[in-house]
Amino acid sequence: MSLAYNPYSQYKKQAVTTANPGKLLIMLFDGALKFSGRARLAIEENDIEQANNYIKKCQDIIDELTSSLNMDYEISKQLYPLYEYINHQFLQANIHKDTRFLDEADKLLRDFRATWLEASKIVKKSGGELGEQS
């Protein structure tokens, strides 16, 4: 198989570019949880370089979530410090190579994911799309 064409990579790219805002949020939370899990394994295996790489990917996702907030809305003002806290937990996990910080970040990420998933279902039932601007 050619390195230039990878069907799975093309599928993932297409899934991201065609996802509605609600689905994209869920995908971001899934990605952060996936990389956090990999960071956890790397820390447990004392693979410091890989742990660093995976934690940085988690932080990149949190940065994306933070930068996408529309501060015209009160909910965004409430989410901002929570995203910053998650990012701080990842930073501490990276500095100390301690999975306890990942535990805290993961708990919040799972809670956010569940909340956005439920909100997306409610909005979908009403015929709208999560993330639409009025």
Interval 53-75: pLDDT, tens: 999 999 999 999 999 999 999 99
How many other CB atoms are found less than 10 A from the CB of residue 82? 14
**pLDDT > 90 fraction of the chain, expressed in percent and rounded:** 70
Q: How many helices (H) and strands (E) does the chain have?
A: 5, 0
Ordered by where they begin, the domains of the chain are 19-125 (1.20.120.340)
Contacts of 73 (CB under 8 A, 6+ apart): none
Give the model confidence (pLDDT) of 30-46 as tens digits.
Answer: 999 999 999 999 999 99
Q: Is residue 4 predicted with pLDDT exceeding 80?
A: no
Quote the CA–CA distance of 93 and 38 in Å, as a whole number.
Answer: 13
Better-scored residue on pLDDT, 32 or 11: 32
